[in-house]
Structure 1
Amino acid sequence: MNWLSGTAFTAFGEPVKWADMFGNLLGLSALALGWRRSVWSWPVQLLSGAVLIAAYLSSAVPAPGLISKQLIVIAAAGWGWTRWNRGRRDTGDIAVRFATWPERAVLAGATALGTLALAWIFLANPSLSWNPWADAYIFVGTLAAMYAQARGWVEFWFAWIAVDVVGVPLAFDSGYAFSGLTYSIYFVLVLLGLRAWWLRTRENRPATANVPQGASA
């Protein structure tokens, strides 16, 4: 289909597809909505993931890591949407907080083990990935970030920074210049979102100290 494979413009010597452009613009919108703690962040993320998968599948250059990342985005968006709606019904707001040290340890440990396990699968099956370690890191790191967002942890923003450190150069290397450029803009929005959520935890500390875990951001 033309809207998938058609070129919108050229950036950094690489053609930018319409689907790639629309998908990433939706992703930017979802991140901005997450910054504002809007429940609409989740359906927009879901739509962004679907459009970007269509863009990646229409390309002649395989990008399993990027496709896997968007599959995780779609799955996590559905779950996060449910959690945020439940939290808003229970408290009237979307509560955010820092994860506890045990929660951080579990998240970091699960991310490391998941990355090692998935990279081993990719290394054992070369047809699944041309860049096993980067693909595994992006896949598992994205899952960790989306999980943290759904739980309302400020660490969500740090997780996205860690994913983008690898995702930006991988996107450019895979021929998705607009994705790489968008991920660079993500970095700025992530810093702003991190500041906003951080300040929010200070404002809400007395009121949300006993909020159930189900109330997430």
Structure 2
Amino acid sequence: MLLDWLNSTAVTAFGAPTSWAEVLGFATGALCVWLVVRQHIANWPLGIANAVMLSLVFLDAALYADAGLQVVYVVLNAYGWWHWARGGNGATLLPVRHTTRAEWIGQVAAGVLITAGLCWWLATHTDSTTELPDAATTALSLMATYGQSRKLLESWWLWITADLIYIPLYGYKGLWLTALLYVLFLGLCVAGLRSWRRAVVPA
């Protein structure tokens, strides 16, 4: 079965077995973020494939909030794909802009509620040992993906914050290839911030 193959060991990275799902998650994730930096619309379908791969990885590692987040990512990637396409012909005509005060208030409020709710659920309904970082990164990632779908410049700062938590979290869970992927993501996020800052439309 395809699922059995995806969960089977592809390579050993840093002394830990690495599944085909994690390898494919690494490849699709790296390419996806590179395409976002370039404001290319193909990042969205590739992001859907990445979410499917990483959901298998996180379920196996008992990172349940991250696994559930991938389901939400599929929906958000479909929305982002539609929104960017609606913004013009191709990848780049939806303008990059700053996050408004109202958007910040809404996103921060949602982020706090999501973090608190997930912490409670993970602590009471799962065997998770990393409730707070798992919940916080889930909330930050949802906020960042929403901002990315609207081409909000500050979404890159949210991704950078999430990546700085994800890297040690995945290392702690023995997901070394995924941790390395998020080191790459961190570098690409810095590049994306600089690139989008040059493209931002003044208020």
User: What is the alpha-carbon distance in structure 2 between the residues aligned to residue 177 and residue 70 of structure 1?
Assistant: 19
Checking the alignment, whether the CA contact within 8 Å between 2:39 and 2:92 is kept in structure 1 is no
Q: Which of 11, 29, 32 lines up with 2:31 in the alignment?
A: 29
Q: Which of 46, 49, 62 lines up with 1:47 in the alignment?
A: 49
Checking the alignment, whether the CA contact within 8 Å between 1:8 and 1:17 is kept in structure 2 is yes
Aligned residue number for residue 190 of structure 1: 189
User: What is the alpha-carbon distance in structure 2 between the residues aligned to residue 140 and residue 92 of structure 1?
Assistant: 27
Opposite residue 46 of structure 1, the aligned amino acid is: I
Opposite residue 98 of structure 2, the aligned amino acid is: F
| Cα displacement (A) at 1:6 | 2.8
Aligned residue number for residue 215 of structure 1: none
| Cα displacement (A) at 1:55 | 3.4
User: What is the alpha-carbon distance in structure 1 between the residues aligned to residue 9 and residue 35 of structure 2?
Assistant: 28
> TM-score, normalized by length of structure 1?
0.84
Aligned residue number for residue 172 of structure 2: 173
| Cα displacement (A) at 1:67 | 0.8
Q: Deviations over 1:158-213 (max 9, x none)?
A: 11111112211111122211100000111000000100000111xx43xxx5xxxx
Aligned residue number for residue 103 of structure 1: 103
Aligned residue number for residue 78 of structure 1: 78
Q: Deviations over 1:75-96 (max 9, x none)?
A: 2101111111111259971211
Checking the alignment, whether the CA contact within 8 Å between 1:138 and 1:163 is kept in structure 2 is yes
Aligned residue number for residue 157 of structure 2: 158
> TM-score, normalized by length of structure 2?
0.89
Opposite residue 53 of structure 1, the aligned amino acid is: S
Checking the alignment, whether the CA contact within 8 Å between 1:96 and 1:200 is kept in structure 2 is yes
State the Cα RMSD in Å: 2.1
Query: Structure 1: which 4+ aligned runs deviate by more than 3 Å?
Result: 89-92
User: What is the alpha-carbon distance in structure 2 between the residues aligned to residue 20 and residue 91 of structure 1?
Assistant: 28
User: What is the alpha-carbon distance in structure 2 between the residues aligned to residue 150 and residue 171 of structure 1?
Assistant: 26
Checking the alignment, whether the CA contact within 8 Å between 2:9 and 2:19 is kept in structure 1 is yes
Checking the alignment, whether the CA contact within 8 Å between 1:43 and 1:77 is kept in structure 2 is yes
| Cα displacement (A) at 1:21 | 1.0
Q: Which has the larger radius of gyration?
A: 1
Unmatched 5+ stretches in structure 1 = 210-217
Q: Deviations over 1:80-119 (max 9, x none)?
A: 1111111125997121111122322321222122211221
Aligned residue number for residue 64 of structure 2: 64
Equivalenced residues, count: 201
| Cα displacement (A) at 1:15 | 1.8
Unmatched 5+ stretches in structure 2 = none
Opposite residue 19 of structure 2, the aligned amino acid is: K
Change (3 A) 1:90 1:166: closer
Aligned residue number for residue 128 of structure 2: 129
Q: Deviations over 1:28-64 (max 9, x none)?
A: 111111111111111000011112223344x3x4221
Change (3 A) 1:185 1:2: same
Checking the alignment, whether the CA contact within 8 Å between 2:99 and 2:153 is kept in structure 1 is yes
Aligned residue number for residue 214 of structure 1: none
Secondary structure, aligned partner of 1:16: strand
